[in-house]
Chains A and B, each alone.
Chain A
Amino acid sequence: QVQLQESGPGLVKPSETLSLTCTVSGGSIGSYYWSWIRQPPGKGLEWIGYIYYSGSTNYNPSLKSRVTISVDTSNNQFSLKLSSVTAADTAVYYCAREVSTGNTDPYFDYWGQGTLVTVSS
């Protein structure tokens, strides 16, 4: 059974960089797309971006200037960096696996439990 676990600081100061890591267990990070998705308290879901295991990325245009997603295949992990954060970046951050092959329509099948990151001084 594939499991995803987010880790990182729960509190980040304004203007600093938010950094999170997602560790994948029970399966390989290879051959899949891996996304970060966030949800402000009481609000809906926002896709941040994805990385393919090979390293190619795609980011939400509204966040692109501040986002970097990287992958570490040797440790079965991928990471998110979001720079110049403000209170508007306070949210539960989820990592998720996307199944997207030529044989099936795409979908997010496995999600982490989510981690709350608060931006405050």
Chain B
Amino acid sequence: EIVLTQSPGTLSLSPGERATLSCRASQSVSSSNLAWYQQRPGQAPRLLIYGASTRATGIPDRFSGSVSGTDFTLTISRLEPEDFAVFYCQQFGSSYTFGQGTKVEIK
């Protein structure tokens, strides 16, 4: 099973700041098979990024994804009030797995 380890567990930032979230895979993951989701309290997850770097329909361009080897990164260039939430990475291998999540909270 591919384990995805997200860091940090919690990120405390102010609106307008830049957020950098990391997702490291325990073994090789095709960049095609990596997605990012945002989950606000009491809501279902929402797709942000797929294929490691492709923004989903309607997602603002302040969200971006990148990859270097087995390290995937979600960057939010300037945090808006509605961006404070939990973010999950997820891989589509033979068995799908999610990272444990990174909470972005207001500082």
Contacts and interface: CB of A to CB of B under 8 A. Distances in A.
A45 B88 contact: yes
Interface residues of B, number: 25
Contacts of A100: 92
B82 interface: no
A45 B1 CA distance: 15
A16 interface: no
Contact of B47 (A45, A58, A62, A109): A109
Contact of B95 (A58, A107, A108): A58
Contacts, number: 61
Interface in B21-44: 32-33, 35, 37, 39, 44
Nearest to A64: B95
Interface string B70-107: 00000000000000000010101011111111000000
A108 B50 CA distance: 9
Contact of B45 (A98, A105, A108): A108
Interface of A: 35, 44-47, 50, 58, 60-62, 94, 96, 98, 100, 104-109, 111-114
6 contacts: A46-B98, A47-B95, A50-B96, A62-B1, A94-B44, A106-B33
